[in-house]
Amino acid sequence: MAEEVKLFRNWSSPFALRIVWALKLKGIEYETILEDLQNKSSLLLQYNPVHKKVPVLLHNGKPILESLVILEYIEETWKQHPLLPEDPFEKATARFWARFNDEELLPSIRDASTKQGKEQEEAIVQVEENLKYVEEKLKGNVFFGGETIGYLDLAFGWLANLVSVLEEVTGLSLTASGKFPLLSAWMQNFSDAPVIKECWPPRDKLIIKYQAMIEKYTAVAAPK
């Protein structure tokens, strides 16, 4: 049976990018269905009724949802170019850190970028603490996956693209300060990898998008 692989995504979602990278690293052919998140297709809503979000991977008509779940599905279905370590402890460690990214690091950077006053200061402190953990994790490795890009690099990958965009839009210095040399080096190495580079959303479009997003948050939070 011919494999049918489709990916519902939009032009910029960092979560969807994880899946694009994984499919490309494994050399899997797929069709992209680009969604306008302001006007979601009925197919997307049918395949992801609970969250109504991208990415959705459709494999032979069956939908798989949630980017980290999709990554594990891809890993288990297509065995070439493994993304996760074989050792159960190393695997557990990678899964732990991927969740840390989604539940702690990403929200803290979002808060630092969108909040004001004291809340922003607290968020910035939290970001530094979180980045210190990530810096420590990189010791002795070029990539989180070791010598080559793996699952955890894909999970953290959004940093390599979006941190500098957010720094430009907000004027904050998250990693630009040079405080996290290993992380900064990783961001460069990750971005330079051909499979990764060719998928970056256009920077100028990202600047506009995040500028608008931050202005919206700032307007909502404006003192009465």
Partner 1 sequence: MSTTEVKVLGSTGSPFVMRAVIALNIKSVDYELLEQNLVVKSELLLKSNPIYKKIPVLIHADKPICESLVIVQYIDEVWTCGPSILPSDPYDRAIARFWAAYLDDKWFPSVRVIVLTAEGDEVKKETLQQVATGLELLEDAFPKCNKDGNFFGGERIGYLDIALGCFLPCLRVIEKVHNLKLLDEAKTPNLCKWAESFCSDAAVKDVIPETDKLIEFAKVLIAKIKARPSN
**Residue ranges that bind partner 1, judged by CB under 8 A:** 50, 59, 62, 64-66, 68-70, 72-73, 76-77, 88-89, 91-93, 95-96, 99-100, 104, 133
Ramachandran angles phi, psi of 66, nearest 5°:
75, 120
The minimum distance between CB 48 and partner 1, in angstroms, equals: 10
The minimum distance between CB 151 and partner 1, in angstroms, equals: 13
Pick 67 or 114: Cβ nearer partner 1: 67
Pick 93 or 141: Cβ nearer partner 1: 93
Pick 100 or 210: Cβ nearer partner 1: 100
The minimum distance between CB 63 and partner 1, in angstroms, equals: 9
CA distance 137 to 186: 11
Four-residue CA torsion sign, 52, 55, 60, 62: negative
C-alpha separations of 185 from 47, 55, 58, 181 in Å:
39, 28, 35, 6
CA distance 104 to 109: 9
The minimum distance between CB 93 and partner 1, in angstroms, equals: 8
Report residue 91 as tokens.
């695997």
Pick 140 or 194: Cβ nearer partner 1: 140
The minimum distance between CB 199 and partner 1, in angstroms, equals: 23
3 state SS for 52-111: CCCCEEEECCEEEECHHHHHHHHHHHCCCCCCCCCCHHHHHHHHHHHHHHHHHHHHHHHH
Pick 66 or 153: Cβ nearer partner 1: 66
Pick 97 or 190: Cβ nearer partner 1: 97
Ramachandran angles phi, psi of 197, nearest 5°:
-55, -40
The minimum distance between CB 154 and partner 1, in angstroms, equals: 16
